[in-house]
């Protein structure tokens, strides 16, 4: 069986850009997957293909799920990667959206499948979205770093150029595969506060959506995501203000972000204890659900 399973082949896509996001290691606080699914929903994207999971997933790590159909029949839902087309007549290009969990194995083969798909659809640009944990305060604008096969893209979008070295996920492997195959590509990464990483972060998702708009030339109505981002920041600020130790920790991060001198040395609680306290506060306020629509 071929890994790529077509439901239909989209014809007539205009200068398409392929935008990819993977849940898991590359997706701190669900920011990247939230951004992509929000864009897909806002543009009325239609699914046209999936990638069969059999060759690429360890089902003990990424388990299939059982659901009831019609309240009676039990069905197995496998962890597939889904592909959608989004036609945007008033924009200079259409989009192809790819979303799924990060595969467990055969990353080179998996990336080759995506590169071949991109070539079959005459894709002009591949964009990967990611989110990483960082020592950043939730009160500041979200920093988005970027890599691109064309350095001019980084400069044009006003991105902070990434200098990261270390372990990578499927996003990094796919970006390298695109470069090897001669496909223009870019990778956008949002920085997520590490002390609130367990809750979905619509503020980081919104920052990715805005940078993606500038990169591909496609605009979406993100008012719902903007509202969710404002609510998120307000809820986290309430949690921070409820604990003096946590508030002192966030103030240190704000000082570091602004290159301000730190004249109040002293011991602070660990990031792990802060995260536990904030998660407990947010759960009590019923703020566990990810914001915005999904594909």
0.85 surpassed by pTM: no
The lowest-confidence range among 38-52, 120-134, 202-216, 238-252 is 238-252
Quick one: average pLDDT of 207-223?
Answer: 94
Section 38-53 average pLDDT: 96
Structure confidence at residue 283 as a pLDDT band (50, 70, 90): low
**Quick one: 236 exposed, middle or buried, by C-beta within 10 A (0-12, 13-18, 19+)?**
buried
- Is the pLDDT at 271 greater than 90, yes or no? no
The label of the residue with tokens 């695109």 reads 178
Other CB atoms within 10 Å distance of the CB of residue 143: 16
Average pLDDT, the chain: 85
Which of 6-20, 63-77, 239-253 shows the lowest mean pLDDT across its residues? 239-253
pLDDT score for 278: 52
Any idea where the domains of the chain sit in the sequence?
A: 4-226
Residue of 109, 89, 81 whose CA lies nearest to 21: 81
DSSP lists the bridge partners of residue 74 as 68
Q: Which residues of 239-257 are buried (b: 16+ CB within 10 A; e: fewer)?
A: bbeebeebeebbbbbeeee
292 pLDDT band (50/70/90 cuts)? very low
* pLDDT per position as a tens digit, 83-95: 999 999 999 999 9
Dist CA 30 CA 171 (whole Å): 14
The whole-number pLDDT of residue 18 equals: 98
Four-point Cα dihedral 142, 135, 258, 232, nearest 10: 40
pLDDT score at 272: 54
Which homologous superfamily does the CATH classification assign to the domain defined by 4-226?
PAC-like subunit (3.40.50.10900)
**What Å distances lie between residue 46 and 7, 115, 127, 222, 280, CA to CA?**
11, 20, 19, 19, 38
- Which among 248, 252, 232, 231 has a CA at the least distance from the CA of 240? 248
């Amino acid at each position: 069986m071929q890994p790529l399973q077509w439901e239909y082949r989209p014809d007539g896509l205009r200068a398409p850009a392929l935008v990819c996001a993977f849940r898991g290691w590359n997706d701190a606080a669900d920011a990247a997957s939230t951004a992509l699914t929000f864009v897909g929903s806002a543009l009325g994207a239609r699914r046209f293909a999936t990638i069969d999971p059999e060759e690429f997933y360890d089902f003990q790590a990424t388990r299939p799920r059982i659901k009831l159909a019609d309240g009676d029949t039990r069905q197995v839902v496998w962890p597939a990667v889904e592909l959608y087309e989004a036609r945007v007549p008033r924009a200079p290009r259409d989009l192809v959206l790819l979303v799924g969990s990060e595969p467990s194995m055969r990353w080179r083969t998996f990336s080759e499948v995506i590169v071949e798909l991109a070539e079959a659809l005459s894709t002009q640009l591949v964009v990967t979205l990611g989110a990483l944990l960082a020592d950043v305060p939730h009160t500041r604008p979200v920093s988005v770093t970027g890599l691109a096969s064309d350095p001019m893209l980084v400069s044009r979008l006003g991105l902070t150029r990434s200098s990261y070295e270390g372990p990578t996920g499927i996003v990094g492997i796919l970006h390298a595969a695109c470069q090897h195959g001669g496909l223009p590509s870019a990778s956008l990464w949002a920085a997520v506060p590490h002390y609130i990483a367990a809750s979905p972060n619509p503020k980081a998702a919104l920052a990715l959506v805005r940078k993606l708009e500038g990169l591909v030339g496609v605009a979406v109505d993100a008012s719902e995501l903007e509202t969710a981002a404002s609510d998120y920041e307000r809820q986290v600020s309430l949690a921070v203000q409820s604990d003096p130790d946590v508030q002192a920790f966030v103030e240190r991060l704000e000082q570091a972000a602004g290159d301000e001198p730190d004249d109040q040395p002293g011991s602070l609680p660990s990031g792990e204890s802060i995260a536990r306290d904030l998660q407990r506060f947010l759960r009590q306020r019923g703020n566990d659900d990810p914001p915005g629509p999904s594909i």
